[in-house]
């Protein structure tokens, strides 16, 4: 064997030093999550037996082995559990004053307790701008918030002039996007769209009846929520219906819907780059044959105020007692929605996970699991559903390099669960812990806080 030259010896020493430096970069504040299996939502692979180092709110190292684990101030044993990216609730409602600060914080925690680390608020308020800033600065530990403007609807936008003024105002005030509600006239909507493009602010939400799904898609919504307008778009023109008699998201037009028209709407969706947030749980809980009393027996209801639960029961029973509501027609309505959802995921721009909490019987955080169940019924795979709740929202917001998957350099937002979610998404319902921007919330911490929230509701 030839002797090692001085140059080669120096190279070996440098290589050894580099390895040592890689271990030494961990600061005294670094945390270690050991013995975990990472779900790579980009590739669909499972990375087994990994160690994850978190420091300053970011993932700084993922490795199969670490030579020195004793120096970490916190070593969380993952016990062979599975790590998924933090989830995003793409259609949430966040309380605002006069709701108490305590209840606002409780609501944000309900989302977090279910692994939701990002929220898109769909009914904005000036308070949410301050809330967003406090969360971004880490002065409030809560899921990051993207917030809409206050509602743009037929009452708040009676004219094109008002549309231009409101869009300009909300863009300047710093809302992330505009929230569209029903009732906007076609000419007012077109002014809204023109001004939004000029001001560089996206718009999302409902499809006003006078606008219609085809014009809405061509106008470039960022997202259409609730699959709104699609069922109405399946009604043949020769049916001669009055558009404003569509009922609950097109329910009244169910017998007239021609599903052969679905492919045309999918093509328009894809061509115009529009994402869809289905909120299927809204239709399977509020507007479904399920009895209000049976829904009220579900454990998550303990986290809601009694007055809210009573109102949910009253509203649902009004729908079910309406002569126009028919369970067989609802089945057909639901079947068409599920077909649309499945095909939108396959052929459209894509779907984003959102449940419309806290609308009827959708408790914040917990309702995302009902939405996941709905996506499974639509025939969407567990991997795609995980992407809808993590990777795709990050891509939607243009922040894929910062969060949305588990990788070195990304923000430490992730959820530890017991079982492989690619085999059983029910594993998401009972997290072992949630990491939010580098702050660990253990199962014990989550349980204790939830128990306190339930007690607070009993006391009211």
pLDDT digits (tens, 9 = 90+) for 314-327: 999 998 998 888 99
Residues near 240 by beta carbon (within 8 Å), at least 6 away in sequence = none
Residue 167 burial (10 A CB sphere; 0-12, 13-18, 19+): buried
385: tokens are: 């559903």
Q: Write out the CATH class of domain 29-86+403-460.
A: mainly beta
Distance CA 253, CA 198 (A): 36
pLDDT, position 28: 87
Q: How far is CA 403 from CA 244, 408, 440, in A?
A: 41, 10, 17
Distance CA 351, CA 387 (A): 9
Strand pairing class (433-436; 414-417): antiparallel
pLDDT, position 459: 76
**Helices 443-458 & 101-113, crossing angle to 10 degrees?**
140
Architecture of domain 88-399: Alpha-Beta Barrel (3.20)
Strand pairing class (87-92; 58-63): unpaired
pLDDT, position 67: 64
Domain boundaries along the sequence of the chain: 29-86+403-460, 88-399
- The confidence band for 25, taking pLDDT boundaries of 50, 70 and 90, is low
Distance CA 422, CA 420 (A): 5
Q: How far is CA 330 from CA 34, 289, 326, 338, 340, in A?
A: 48, 8, 6, 12, 15
pLDDT, position 347: 80
Residues near 414 by beta carbon (within 8 Å), at least 6 away in sequence = 83, 84, 85, 86, 117, 406, 434, 435
Residues in the chain: 460
Q: Where are the alpha helices (DSSP H) in 201-247?
A: 213-219
Residue 17 has pLDDT above 70, yes or no: no
pLDDT, position 15: 44
Lowest mean pLDDT among 20-29, 94-103, 114-123: 20-29
Phi and psi, residue 338, nearest 5°: -65, -35
The answer to whether the CB of 168 falls within 8 A of the CB of 199 is: yes
Helix (H, G, I), strand (E, B) or coil at 223: strand
Strand pairing class (46-55; 58-63): antiparallel
**DSSP percent split of the chain into helix, strand, coil, nearest 5:** 45, 20, 35
Averaged pLDDT for residues 27-35: 92
Residues near 430 by beta carbon (within 8 Å), at least 6 away in sequence = 417, 418
Residues near 367 by beta carbon (within 8 Å), at least 6 away in sequence = 281, 355, 356, 357, 358
142: tokens are: 């809560």
pLDDT, position 55: 95
Q: How far is CA 90 from CA 190, 249, 271, 285, 388, in A?
A: 25, 19, 22, 18, 9
Residue 20 has pLDDT above 90, yes or no: no
The string of DSSP letters for 165-185 reads: HHHHHHHHHT-SEEEE-TT--
Eight-state DSSP code of residue 432:
S
């Amino acid at each position: 064997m030839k002797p090692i030259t001085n140059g080669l010896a120096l190279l070996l020493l440098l290589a050894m030093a580099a390895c040592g430096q890689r271990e030494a970069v961990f600061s005294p504040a670094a945390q270690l999550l050991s013995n975990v299996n990472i779900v790579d939502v980009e590739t669909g692979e499972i990375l087994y037996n990994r160690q994850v180092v978190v420091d300053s709110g970011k993932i700084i190292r993922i490795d199969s082995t670490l030579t020195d684990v004793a120096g970490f101030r916190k070593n969380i044993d993952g016990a062979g559990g599975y790590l998924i990216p933090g989830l995003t609730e793409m259609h949430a409602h966040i309380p605002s004053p006069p709701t108490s600060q305590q209840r606002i914080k409780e609501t944000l925690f309900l989302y977090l307790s279910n692994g939701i680390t990002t929220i898109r608020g769909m009914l904005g308020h000036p308070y949410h701008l301050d809330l967003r800033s406090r969360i971004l600065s880490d002065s409030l530990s809560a899921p990051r918030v993207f917030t809409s403007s206050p509602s743009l609807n037929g009452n708040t936008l009676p004219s094109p002039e008002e549309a231009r003024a409101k869009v300009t105002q909300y863009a300047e005030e710093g809302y992330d996007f505009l929230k569209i509600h029903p009732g906007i006239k076609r000419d007012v909507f077109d002014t809204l769209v023109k001004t939004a493009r000029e001001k560089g602010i996206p718009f999302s939400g409902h499809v006003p009846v006078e606008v219609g799904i085809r014009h809405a898609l061509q106008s470039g919504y960022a997202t259409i929520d609730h699959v709104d307008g699609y069922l109405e778009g399946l009604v043949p023109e020769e049916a001669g219906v009055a558009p404003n008699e569509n009922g609950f998201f097109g329910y009244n037009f169910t017998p007239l819907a021609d599903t052969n028209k679905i492919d045309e709407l999918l093509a328009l969706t894809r061509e115009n780059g529009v994402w869809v947030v289905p909120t299927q749980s809204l239709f399977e809980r509020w507007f479904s044959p399920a009895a209000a009393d049976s829904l009220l027996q579900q454990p998550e209801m303990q986290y809601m105020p009694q007055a809210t639960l009573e109102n949910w029961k009253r509203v649902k029973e009004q729908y079910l007692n309406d002569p126009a509501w028919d369970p067989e027609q609802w089945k057909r309505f639901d079947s068409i929605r599920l077909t649309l959802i499945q095909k939108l995921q396959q052929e459209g721009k894509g779907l984003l996970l959102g449940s419309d909490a806290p609308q009827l019987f959708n408790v914040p955080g917990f309702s995302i699991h009902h939405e996941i169940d709905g996506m499974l019924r639509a025939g969407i795979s567990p991997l795609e559903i995980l992407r809808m709740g993590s990777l795709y929202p990050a891509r939607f917001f243009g922040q894929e390099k910062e969060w949305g998957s588990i990788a070195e350099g990304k923000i430490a937002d992730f959820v530890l669960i017991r079982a492989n979610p690619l085999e059983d998404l029910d594993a998401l319902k009972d997290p072992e812990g949630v990491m939010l921007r580098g702050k660990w919330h253990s199962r014990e911490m989550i349980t204790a806080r939830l128990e306190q929230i339930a007690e607070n509701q009993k006391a009211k």
